Amino acid sequence: MPPIHLAALNLTDHGATGLALACWHALVLGIVQGFTEFLPISSTAHLKAVPVLLGWGDPGVAVTAVLQLGSIGAVLAYFRKDLRQLGLGLLQGLQQGNLNAPEAQLGLAIVAGTVPILVAGLAVRLFFYEAYGASVLRSLAGIGVVSIVMAALLALAERLGRRRHGLGQVSVTAGWLLGLAQMLALVPGVSRSGSTLTAALLMGWQRAAAARFSFLLGIPAITMAGLAEVKESLTSPGLGGVLPLVVGVLSAALSSWLAIAWLLRFLQQHSTWVFVVYRLGFGVLLVAVSVGGSGG
């Protein structure tokens, strides 16, 4: 049986069977998105690799971006109190002419950290990705190699990191530097949370604090990425229509919430070595599949 590509699921031709299949694919992809968006293992890599390995074909960048809306809904709900405190802290700091309070500094750090990926993302979209991204950056071999490299960097950060700094000591400069690290996530396989977590550990952050800041820093980036692709996904075959799209976003939201809660608890008492081992194995698998001619 030839592989079923998500973009080929036309509901008019396949009727109820096509709708059910599209919903099933969307459910699986939403779960993959949710559990990998906030873990340092790259959601983009898994959303490319899992459906290809299952014979479904590459869902495409637009589908990947829209599924992120479920993740952003989860992170907004999970950190709603934190975001409220940050907003009030920034507002009070501006009103009083004093932005040295911890909440104001954290808010400014997130703003500063968002600038690099905005600039880089726009540049990549306009000048590089359309011409080269799909064939080079999103290949299984490329993603596999990147995953192996990021595993090595995370291992280095785990070994060298001093783990002294918490969120109360964050600065605008630190936010900018972590924003530069987040910018690397434009390369499929890097992982946005993985790149920021790795950089934060190298800078001496505590693991749980690094993860928490990574989640907050990712809110603007993944929100804009998802919203930028909503219109295109609603008017193209993508996930097979509006209902599968809703299924995918909801499953991504639930699994994202669970992943956030689990990772914050996990990193309070454990290291990141489990992710180093996983990323190394995942990368080797993708390279092996690609070399064997089974993947794209």
**Number of neighbouring beta carbons within 10 Å of residue 55:** 12
Query: What's the mean pLDDT in 86-108?
Result: 87
Residue 5 lies in a domain: no
Give how many domains the chain has, as a whole number.
Answer: 1
Residue 32 lies in a domain: yes
pLDDT higher than threshold 50 for residue 261: yes
User: 4 lies in a domain?
Assistant: no
Asked whether 263 and 198 are in contact (CB, 8 A), the reply is no
Position 211 in a domain: yes
90 in a structural domain: yes
The answer to the question of residue 126 being in a domain is yes
Q: How far apart are CA 102 and CA 93, in angstroms?
A: 10
For the chain, the first-to-last Cα distance in angstroms comes to: 18
Answer yes or no: is pLDDT of 296 > 50.
no
Residue 44 belongs to some domain of the structure: yes
Its domain, for residue 227, covers 14-291
pLDDT at residue 123 in the model = 78
Residue 225 has pLDDT above 60, yes or no: yes
More confident residue, 135 or 163: 163
Q: Is the CB of residue 282 less than 8 Å from the CB of residue 222?
A: no
Query: Is 7 inside a domain boundary?
Result: no
Q: Which residues lie below 8 Å from residue 19, measured CB to CB, with a gap of 6+?
A: 11, 240, 241, 243, 244
